[in-house]
């Protein structure tokens, strides 16, 4: 999926996905960011994994001391630079979340929301271990996925994206049970509470799992 986003759904095309989001989806997006902001205090250093064109960074830079955003798409990072480049506390890098070229224990908060854990198509254990490695003791790693109760709204949003040609036509025969599958190879899955718990156990971490806005499942890990 990382290749799909970098090749087909980056920069202005990714931005368009959010521009056409219906009101209920916009509420969900806002609720996710508000939940993240509760973990951030003035002066904190924050890392966002899969920052895209800087939609979430826009809010994080207003509260945190220093924010670093990484993405594998050079085009998305370039757009984020154009949108946020005048903010001295924001730093943008083209980088893989599975192999962070960053020092140990330097961030107070690491953020991977908007179902990034699915969109990355990554090895989850490696992703969590790298996230925890760069997090200060007592710091938080925040991950999110979609709630089951948000399925109809999520599907309607992706159908709008397909109608605009941003993603391929949705394949109804393969779509369901939390997964949206398109005929061009696009696939977006979700992560359940049980899966988040299993991932945390695999890396020796304790997870706090909660539902937010009846749209998101948040998993909060604390670095030791």
d(CA 81, CA 89): 12
pLDDT computed for residue 120 by the predictor: 80
Q: Is the pLDDT of residue 127 over 80?
A: yes
Q: Is residue 2 very low, low, confident or very high in pLDDT (cuts 50, 70, 90)?
A: low
The per-residue pLDDT for range 34-84, each reduced to its tens digit, is: 999 999 999 999 999 999 999 999 999 999 999 999 999 999 999 999 999
Over residues 12-22, mean pLDDT: 97
pLDDT computed for residue 123 by the predictor: 86
pLDDT computed for residue 8 by the predictor: 84
d(CA 27, CA 101): 34
Higher-confidence residue of 164 and 121: namely 164
Structure tokens at 108: 């107070």
Q: Is the pLDDT of residue 30 over 90?
A: yes
pLDDT computed for residue 5 by the predictor: 81
Q: What's the distance, Cα to Cα, between the start and end of the chain in Å?
A: 31
Over residues 119-130, mean pLDDT: 87
CB 93 within 8 A of CB 77: yes
The pTM assigned to this predicted structure is 0.95
Over residues 148-177, mean pLDDT: 97
Q: For residue 119, which phi and psi values (nearest 5 degrees)?
A: -60, -30
pLDDT computed for residue 190 by the predictor: 95
- List the one residue out of 194, 121, 124, 145 whose CA is nearest residue 35: 145
Mean pLDDT score across all residues of the chain:
95
pLDDT computed for residue 1 by the predictor: 43
pLDDT computed for residue 192 by the predictor: 95
Over residues 200-204, mean pLDDT: 95
Neighbours of 27 (CB within 10 A): 15
pLDDT computed for residue 156 by the predictor: 98
């Amino acid at each position: 999926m990382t290749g799909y986003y970098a090749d087909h759904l980056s920069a202005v095309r990714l931005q368009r996905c959010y521009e056409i989001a219906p009101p209920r989806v916009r509420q969900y997006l806002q609720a996710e960011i508000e939940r993240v902001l509760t973990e951030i205090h003035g002066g904190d250093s924050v890392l966002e994994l899969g920052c895209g064109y800087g939609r979430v960074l826009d809010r994080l830079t207003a509260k945190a001391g220093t924010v670093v955003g990484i993405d594998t798409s050079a085009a998305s990072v370039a757009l984020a630079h154009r949108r946020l480049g005048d903010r001295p506390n924001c730093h943008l890098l083209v980088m893989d979340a599975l192999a962070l070229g960053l020092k140990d224990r330097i961030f107070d908060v690491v953020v991977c929301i908007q179902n990034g854990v699915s969109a990355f198509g990554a090895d989850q254990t490696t992703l969590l271990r790298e996230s925890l490695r760069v997090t200060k003791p007592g710091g938080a790693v925040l991950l999110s996925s979609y709630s089951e109760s948000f399925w109809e709204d999520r599907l309607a949003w992706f159908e709008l994206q397909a109608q605009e040609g941003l993603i391929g036509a949705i394949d109804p025969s393969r779509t369901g049970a939390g997964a949206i599958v398109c005929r061009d190879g696009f696939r977006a899955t979700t992560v359940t509470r049980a899966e988040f718990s299993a991932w945390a156990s695999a890396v020796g971490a304790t997870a706090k799992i909660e539902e937010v806005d009846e749209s998101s499942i948040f998993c909060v890990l604390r670095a030791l």
